[in-house]
Structure 1
């Protein structure tokens, strides 16, 4: 699937069932895939598809911060510079520089809105803004969980993004619709709305996506599962169908070998899917030949792509731990910290994470809750919601600063359930975790057993059961585990290690 078509807003009856009166919503953590983008690299120019696409009007007005010691401002030496970005490339028949232009145009204005590869487009900006509007309607207007206006994002909001620009820009679009400018009020202390804090990490520390670039062990595991997919699918009737349909557009192999569509072909089958999905999301001027959009062909390509990229999460505990375990461990730690603070305005109430398709599918598959053959569409999101049973009364708890940033909450959040004392386990009683993927409830299979979910609804997993499942693939030292067994041959586990239990 390419562009997400959101389901209609919940009816009052659906909302009452999704958010029962005996449960208080305490913490929401949203993981969102970025919006529509250009392909991450140029492909299929032999079909007439232009390499550079004219869908990024934002590059006509970029604002940068300038440090100017001679600034006339007495309060700050910082000023801004607005500028327009043009993209330069090679001339068709030489290494001479030339501007990238809109397809079929040679005017100067045709260089103004050209996208780089893997860039969030105007369509992607609209869809991520629309996501923010839907989140505002649900969590502010209808549920009253968040306030309609704020004077600061600290400490109630946790905004984090990967270092990839399209993820950052998507988060900014979504937050700007969740809290439009007229709802960001001046702080009583300073008279201005303080800049929202958006957290990023260095690439080497990033766990908000499966980081095969900085985790060599995970990269080796990924190659093993990719090779298994290639061995399984390359010589099948399904691949032969794809070759008859689009094989003539594949790149020539060395020695004049026949062009072939393959999982590990040139481009890879996942690369074919990338370009197909990106073109479908945009205008008629950036389209592939019609055979690329054959419904059966797209179904085959997505099914194989999902298996190649995400089967490892469902079959290998190590794959889950190195690929996504650090992130899911962070989510659980934040939930435990919220419990320690009892959610009374002392800590984070809403988290928004700008991430990627591999983040969402990797997380859901690691919890045994993906179970589908469709690739996550642009602007997909997962909502991880923590609830408190409002009939349980007061609980033993610690302060939020000791809970979320360190102390008891951090200790409990990262320690496996079997290492907790009975009094520590008791603190988690009466709390439930529920997942929604693109506004559809998904259930973790290990939560279905009696005593591990809210009575009458298996989708509300007890926090203790959810944590116990996540503990099994939360790394204790991710960087160290990424360096283990680097020299040995990596293979797919002979016996699957099912996810979600």
Structure 2
């Protein structure tokens, strides 16, 4: 766990910090806030083949599900948001004031529900049943395969190509080479192929959860867990956004949405105009990817349950707008850490924030995702010509080619029929006579 804390402390001490206590906050300048958090405590997503705790009866809520502790964690986090933003948000829930979005995963949806129970307990005419201090609040989601903004899992061929290419970088190849014996050992002991950094993290995560549930880990883990696996597990969180191109394709859509909200709030065009809060319920990878994209994830660490990023828009007394970026490391601490985005000051002027982040925002995400490449980095079009060509353009070419082929076949058929009819009317055209009687 030492590496985890070194990563967290780096955020606190490596030149980018200011710690605020909730009670001391003056948020009178606050105009709009985005909250992005990881879900709460969960069960393992799945067991490994030789796992002594793979019997599903040991995990009654099911694999990868939010636990009661996770519900309590997010209820407490919602209460924290109420304390921090109590003078900014209305005490009563309003659909115009808050918009909540979650990835389409049980544990993130349930975390959002638990969080909102702490943030918006029903009051006054919103109490709908005596003794129930909870009210239903809409949570919006999309299937992960359609969600490029929060889940980041909508298919993107260009991203997959860049991700594969990043694994060939010298430092990644060296790390895999240095870890070969560990991979071999883990594969032998677990009965599951462990062949790269991500598969180590997946196993590390399962062992961590089992340990937290007070299960005795197998004897073979003592030589490798947590020490030999911890760094690789933490480093794995850098991989999805390891390069600027990966950051642009993976996190650009979310950052673009946040920037758009800020700009419209400043210009008075945000709809509804009463909107004050956008809440996003997501995963550890979401937190890591955002921090990586902001340039604030070195050294890396495994974001704990309920870790939270707050992106706030403020308006100064002189009507200047600026952005504050804050991080909260789970539910136990009341403090939030104010970070400084590299290239800007702590209270980053909105225009400068947009200027810094714009290179990481796709102009046309769908078009950029559709770029195809060969092994030599050259895009290949339908005619074998090396040129960048989007897949939807290839589809257009295919349609045109198919139409031309169909037209050619139709013309050929007409010519054949005309020729056949002329031959039939010719005096040299004979019918076969029947030799059978009437």
Q: 1:300 to 1:320 in 2, by over 3 A?
A: closer
Q: Which residue of 2 aligns with 1:349?
A: 276
Q: TM-score, normalised by structure 1?
A: 0.62
Q: 1:120 to 1:16 in 2, by over 3 A?
A: closer
User: In the alignment, is the contact (CA less than 8 A) between 2:151 and 2:282 conserved in 1?
Assistant: no
Query: What are the equivalent positions in structure 2 for 1:455-466 lying under 5 Å apart?
Result: 458-466=345-353
The number of equivalent residue pairs is 352
Q: TM-score, normalised by structure 2?
A: 0.70
Aligned match of 1:29 in 16, 22, 34? Answer: 34
- Cα distance in 1 for residues equivalent to 2:114 and 2:125: 15
- Cα distance in 2 for residues equivalent to 1:137 and 1:124: 20
Shift of 1:39: 2.2
User: In the alignment, is the contact (CA less than 8 A) between 1:209 and 1:323 conserved in 2?
Assistant: no
Kindly indicate whether residue 76 of structure 2 is the aligned counterpart of residue 179 of structure 1: no
Query: What are the equivalent positions in structure 2 for 1:305-324 lying under 5 Å apart?
Result: 305-310=236-241, 312=242, 315-316=243-244, 318-324=245-251
Aligned match of 2:164 in 219, 223, 229? Answer: 223
2:177 partner SS: coil
1:338 partner SS: helix
User: In the alignment, is the contact (CA less than 8 A) between 2:40 and 2:74 conserved in 1?
Assistant: yes
Shift of 1:382: 0.3
1:322 partner SS: helix
- Cα distance in 2 for residues equivalent to 1:441 and 1:215: 33
Q: 1:300 to 1:202 in 2, by over 3 A?
A: closer
RMSD: 3.5
Shift of 1:205: 3.3
Q: Which residue of 2 aligns with 1:50?
A: 54
Render the CA deviation track for 1:442-474: whole Å, top value 9, x for unaligned: 211121xxxxxxxxxx21111111111221121
2:251 partner SS: helix
Shift of 1:217: 1.7
Render the CA deviation track for 1:377-435: whole Å, top value 9, x for unaligned: 12111000111102x15xxxxxxxxxxxxxxxxxxxxxxxxxxxxxxxxxxxx111011
User: In the alignment, is the contact (CA less than 8 A) between 1:441 and 1:459 conserved in 2?
Assistant: yes
- Cα distance in 1 for residues equivalent to 2:223 and 2:55: 17
Q: Which residue of 2 aligns with 1:146?
A: 89
Render the CA deviation track for 1:121-143: whole Å, top value 9, x for unaligned: 22221211121121112211xxx
- Cα distance in 2 for residues equivalent to 1:297 and 1:121: 28
Query: What are the equivalent positions in structure 2 for 1:398-409 lying under 5 Å apart?
Result: none
- Cα distance in 2 for residues equivalent to 1:19 and 1:284: 39
Aligned match of 1:159 in 100, 113, 116? Answer: 100
Aligned match of 1:299 in 230, 235, 240? Answer: 230
Higher helix share: 2
Q: Which residue of 1 aligns with 2:360?
A: 473
- Cα distance in 1 for residues equivalent to 2:269 and 2:228: 51
- Cα distance in 2 for residues equivalent to 1:51 and 1:139: 43
- Cα distance in 2 for residues equivalent to 1:436 and 1:351: 15
2:249 partner SS: helix
Q: 1:352 to 1:235 in 2, by over 3 A?
A: same
Q: 1:208 to 1:123 in 2, by over 3 A?
A: farther
User: In the alignment, is the contact (CA less than 8 A) between 1:30 and 1:353 conserved in 2?
Assistant: yes
User: In the alignment, is the contact (CA less than 8 A) between 1:332 and 1:467 conserved in 2?
Assistant: yes
Q: 1:126 to 1:286 in 2, by over 3 A?
A: farther
Query: What are the equivalent positions in structure 2 for 1:196-275 lying under 5 Å apart?
Result: 196-209=137-150, 211-212=152-153, 214-228=155-169, 231-236=173-178, 240=181, 248-251=188-191, 262-263=195-196, 268-275=199-206
- Cα distance in 1 for residues equivalent to 2:38 and 2:192: 33
- Cα distance in 1 for residues equivalent to 2:4 and 2:55: 21
- Cα distance in 1 for residues equivalent to 2:207 and 2:310: 28
Q: 1:377 to 1:14 in 2, by over 3 A?
A: closer
Q: Which residue of 2 aligns with 1:436?
A: 326
Aligned match of 1:40 in 20, 24, 45? Answer: 45
Q: 1:171 to 1:262 in 2, by over 3 A?
A: same
Aligned match of 1:132 in 78, 92, 96? Answer: 78
- Cα distance in 2 for residues equivalent to 1:125 and 1:489: 49
